[in-house]
Structure 1
């Protein structure tokens, strides 16, 4: 009997330990449906003004200046929190909202701890479990959510749009540039194309020569299936926007990701 009790207790402890890691991971396989019944499409002009003021053409961020403007940023984020998209919004309005939300809440998280060397310093090291992207600091409606909830459970699950990976910016040097204007529904396709073109042709992000063995961003390695919908491939995605084409069957290798913060440097 004592042996059976010990085995049962041991099993419970193992289950508890697994749920501290695995259960947190599994939640990201589940789409997240959030809605605000009476919400209307948000005016992103306040976010646009902050980006124009504190982000340069290369996407580098003046986090110290953002700290000084934290009241304006927080006011905009309250507007987002109180106006979660619903089905009366167009798809472009919803996607623009979520892209702006991810980037703006990321800025908020960074400036709360700035100065820092890397956004990864703000959390643990277990991907999809205890990183900074798994911290529930984002109020959406009446509940708290994480950056991974926005990216993994909403944007990637509900929008079949690989260009989002050229628009979501996690405050790191190897991320795409932070666009110094807000995403808006009326220009969203143009903006995403411009982000893709800028990212793919940036030699600090992708080295497209030699054409048969290019070194490309690890983003393509992080999300390979997002670039392989239908008959699409990573190589086709790159060539759609690249000025220097790679071979259709090129052997890809992936650059080491630079997680140092994307701050403006004097």
Structure 2
């Protein structure tokens, strides 16, 4: 017995729509929570996140139920995993709040405390085994470790549409932020991010210095003093 063509077409259409819907995740819940609880300067209201925990957990469930597929674009994967990293970092902090630093938590980055598609993960797994392997050094200025010296938490959700422009803006903002990098005609003291992840900035023959100079208003050249700034792990609230 032959399957009716109309029925076959309906199945194909349904599968196509399901795939399309999965690829175009709606990060709207996360976007709204961020707007309410993170300032333009990146200060985080963790008590506010706790008050909004019901919506936050809806987003965690949404992330868990909609993991990236192989056919997703790089932009879709970047948006998903950056949002996931930042959202689960918030979860780690509010689960242990109050505290003065993320380092007050034992093994914070290796702790497996959230599930995606039924599999337990840690923040280190998201950063080192997934995000860094996407070959995009600008992720280091979008993911946040809940600390003052980290790049600020952007108070909007990343999407496939905005992620490239957002990464470009956040990278430039971080490099030219005197609280996190000092780059003058006399002195260069940059974030330890450029030391910890120096391999990631070696793209197309570049190194960390040339990467910084693409964005820095004052270029690194013949300054008399060069080094790294002390990293402040104080909670970013």
> Which range, TM-score by smaller chain?
0.7 to 0.9
Q: Are 1:88 and 2:64 counterparts?
A: no
CA deviation vs aligned residue, 1:44-85 (integer Å, no higher than 9, x gap): 010000111000011010111110001101110110011110
Q: Given the alignment of the two structures, is residue 254 of structure 1 paired with residue 228 of structure 2, yes or no?
A: yes
Unmatched tracts of structure 2, length 5 or more: 1-17
Deviations 1:145-189 (A, max 9, x none): 1000100001112x1111000001000000001001001111111
RMSD (Å) for aligned C-alpha atoms: 1.7
Structure 2 counterpart of 1:164, from 125, 129, 139: 139
Partner in structure 1 of residue 166 of structure 2: 191
Contact 2:89 2:146 in 1 (8 A): yes
TM-score norm. by structure 2 comes to 0.88
Aligned to 2:99: 116
Q: TM-score, normalised by structure 1?
A: 0.78
Helix, strand or coil at the partner of 2:54: helix
Per the alignment, residue 52 of structure 1 pairs with: 35
Cα distance in 2 for partners of 1:184, 1:251 equals: 40
Structure 1 equivalent of residue 6 of structure 2? none
In the alignment, which residue of structure 2 is the partner of 1:149? 125
Shift of 1:251: 6.8
CA distance in 2: counterparts of 1:148 and 1:41, whole angstroms: 26
| Secondary structure of the corresponding residue to residue 120 of structure 2 | strand
Q: Can you give the 5+ residue segments of structure 1 that lack an aligned partner in the other structure?
A: 1-36, 124-130
Instruction: Trace 1:1-266 onto structure 2 (pairs within 5 A).
Output: 39-123=22-106, 131-157=107-133, 159-210=134-185, 213-247=187-221, 252-263=226-237
CA distance in structure 1 between the partners assigned to 2:233 and 2:28 by the alignment:
29
C-alpha contact (below 8 Å) 2:171/2:215 kept by paired residues: yes
Structure 1 stretches of at least 4 aligned residues deviating more than 3 Å after TM superposition:
37-41, 248-252
The Cα of 1:231 is off from its aligned counterpart by 1.2
Using a 3 Å threshold, how does the CA distance of structure 1 residues 231 and 61 change in structure 2: closer, same or farther?
same
Kept after mapping to 1: 8 A contact 2:185/2:218: no
Distance 1:247 1:119, change over 3 A: same
Distance 1:225 1:113 in 2: 33
Q: Is the 8 A contact 2:101 2:234 kept in 1?
A: yes
Give the Å deviation of 1:41: 3.2
Q: Is the 8 A contact 2:146 2:235 kept in 1?
A: yes
